[in-house]
Amino acid sequence: MKRLVTRISLGVGATLGSLYMFAGRALAQTSPPVPTVPTPGGTASVNVSLPDLTGTGTSNTAVVILVLTVLSIAPAILVMLTSFTRIVITFSLARQALGAPQLPPNQVVVGLSLLLSLIVMAPTFSKINESSLQPLLNDKISIGEAVKQAEPAVREFLLKNTRDEELGAMRKLAGEKSTTPVAKTSFSALAPAFVLSEIRTAFTLGFLIFLPFLIIDLVVASVLMSLGLMFLPPTFVSLPLKILLFVMLGGWTLIAETVVRSFA
């Protein structure tokens, strides 16, 4: 035992000694010299040249800046000012009603909602492209004029799909007079009214989707109760039945068609 302790002590000592010598050599090395740029005055200077933003390249630069700005706020615009809100909430409620809240996965639901949103928003995007985007790319109008020309198409879509109750409430909160025409409602009142209206419509569709699945759950629970199988969870039996019925009726297609046709 003493020999074993002695060998361990010697091994540890040798290891520590090696590490100390290696660290000493590393610290003894000098740091590499910093490269310098010799100049006649003895100081280093760095010349930074900026690209020429005059002439025909100015419009291209402005377009690039505009595109980068839009891309940075695109998620918020996509969620708030398009049909995405109603569609994604409806599909999420359909998953809950089916009894499989994680199927399909969130990525599939979001992706499908984006594709359906493109179908719904295609007429509006076409109007914006013709009246605003193409003239801007062809250097016919400025960025400010492009925004003004794109506003009527967006405002038309929002007003068509906004309920009067939500719009009136938001106009009161924004301090707008009731005598002001609805077509001249500010975006600060129109945007939240549209979002609230979309949430309300989505929950209405979700309630209609929940009803048949609720009936199936009640029927299965009553049958199990009559058979004396009180300790058997009703969802264990109702879930396969709901999935079978949902697949046979083409449930996802029906929901997609319903939610797309619900837009004015």
The predicted pLDDT at position 32 comes to 45
**pLDDT category, 148, cuts 50, 70, 90?**
confident
Pick the more confident residue, 58 or 74: 74
| 35, 91, 103, 135 from 100: Cα distances, Å | 64, 12, 5, 48
Domain assignments of the chain as residue spans, ordered by start:
59-207
pLDDT at 44 over 60: no
Indicate the residue type of 71: L
Using one digit for the tens of pLDDT, what is the confidence trace for 77-136?
Answer: 767 888 888 999 999 988 888 887 788 888 888 888 889 988 888 888 888 888 888 887
Query: pLDDT confidence of 33, banded at 50, 70, 90?
Result: very low
- What percentage of the chain exceeds 70 in pLDDT? 73
% the chain with pLDDT above 90:
5
Tell me what pLDDT residue 23 has: 41
**Mean pLDDT score, 21-50:** 46
pLDDT averaged over the chain? 74
pLDDT for residue 46: 45
pLDDT at position 124 is 86
| pLDDT per position as a tens digit, 153-191 | 888 888 888 888 888 888 888 887 777 777 778 888 888
pTM: 0.66
Q: What is the pLDDT of residue 264?
A: 66
Residue whose tokens read 């301090």: 175
